[in-house]
Every structure is written in structure tokens, then in C-alpha cells.
Amino acid sequence: MNFQEFRNVFHTQKIFSTGDIAKVWTNFNYVNLVNWQEKGYLIKLRNTWYAFPDTLKTEADLYFLANRLRQPSYVSLETALRFFNWIPESVFSITSVTTAKPAEWRTPVGHFTYRSLQSRLFFGYQPVEGEGAAFNIADPEKTLLDLLYFYPRLTEAPDFKSLRLNQEEIATRLDLSRLDNYLVLIASPTLESRWRNLQKFLAL
């Protein structure tokens, strides 16, 4: 098989797996993948996942990739804070939340981190149509609760100040009623107490 024939089939996909290839060609010679990587025609992302070098260009592409590499998952924590323009810094790693085991992977296109939580807490995310790719990301309310959940050291005003949160942006986007509903579902007095401290700090 020549590469152009292969590309004609998969060029519309952001990423694809060996399982996807097997559905098209049951007798595919996987040595081709190694050869095409050596020639720079393909990028191996992780294990069975591949992409063409020119398909993962935007942040939306990378968020989409984060969703696919670990399923189920949604983008959250520092990455979501930056997405909502709630922190000034760029983030080094794309951080997601999953019900699977935690993981950290470095790939040719980015660094991906996954934090694990219970299935009953896996909610509060939304589908977003990004620039050429759709992905799941925590909604604003769950972003803050995930942050408090995974960083129990965040308890008082000095801790919150270190985050350099954009208070005006948060006040504009946050739905306090929805967040309170989430607290009922989570049912953690400790987390709720820390949220009330953050709420006071943000003057919400």
C-alpha cells in the first residue's frame, strides 16, 4: 500500500488508531506505520494512536486529543481556568479529569495529565465546538469545584491569592445557583466550607 492511498482514507480525521485501520484493511501491514513515521508522514501519539503532522494545530485540537487518549474524560483544572481566561498564565500541561486511573503522558504534540475521581462526581462538563474540533470541558462552576477537590491545600485567602484569579471574569460567568446544586450532589461539607471561603475571597 502506498501512503497516499492511506492518507486519502484518514485525512479527514484528527487522530486515528490501529483499530480504525483494521476496520478498513483487515490485512494491513503495520510495518508501514513505522516506515511512515521515519519519513515524517505520521506522528505516533501514544500506543495505538496516530495523526498526520498537519492535523493537530490548535488548542481545540489538543483538547479533543485529550478527550480521546483517555476515555471518559473532560478537560478541567488549570487548563479550564486558562480556557475561561480566569488565570493569566499559559499552562504547561493539558489537564483532564477521568474516572479511569490517573496518568501523565508526554507526546510529540503536548503533555497530557489525567486526575482520577469517583464516577458519581463525573459531571458538570459541556461539549464545546472549538476551532475545527469538538471537545468536552468542565463548565465554569465545576472547574472551581474540581480545583478545590484536587487541591485540598486551597483553604484560605492567601492560598486563593496565589492563584491570581481574574475575579471580574469569574463574577461575569459563574452561575452560583448551579454551583450550589453541584455541592448538593457532591455532598462534602469540607469541600463546601472551602468553597464558601473562596466565594468570600472572590466577593461573589
In the 3-class helix/strand/coil scheme, how is 82-97 assigned residue by residue? HHCCCCCCCCCCEEEE
Say if residue 92 is in the same domain as residue 186. yes
CA dist 108 → 19, 52, 105 (Å): 21, 12, 10
**pLDDT digit string, tens, across residues 49-91:** 999 999 998 999 999 999 999 999 999 999 999 999 999 988 8
**pLDDT digit string, tens, across residues 92-125:** 899 999 999 999 999 999 999 999 999 999 999 9
Say if residue 110 is in the same domain as residue 154. yes
Domain of residue 9 covers 3-51
What CA–CA distance (Å, rounded) separates 51 from 19? 14
The cell numbers describing 26, all together, are 483487515
Say if residue 29 is in the same domain as residue 101. no
**Tally of domains in the chain:** 2
Say if residue 120 is in the same domain as residue 197. yes
Say if residue 115 is in the same domain as residue 25. no
Query: In the Cβ-directed half-sphere of 123, how many Cα atoms lie within 13 Å?
Result: 11
Domain end, chosen from 34, 51, 68, is at 51
What is the pLDDT, as a whole number, of residue 90? 84
Contact 23, 38 (CB under 8 A): no
pTM: 0.93
Using 50, 70 and 90 to split pLDDT, how confident is the model at 200? Answer: very high
What is the pLDDT, as a whole number, of residue 29? 96
What is the pLDDT, as a whole number, of residue 89? 83
Query: Reading across the β-sheet that carries 125-129, which strands appear in turn?
Result: 103-107, 110-116, 94-98, 73-75, 134-138, 125-129
3-state secondary structure (DSSP) of residue 136: strand
What is the pLDDT, as a whole number, of residue 1? 84
Say if residue 30 is in the same domain as residue 75. no
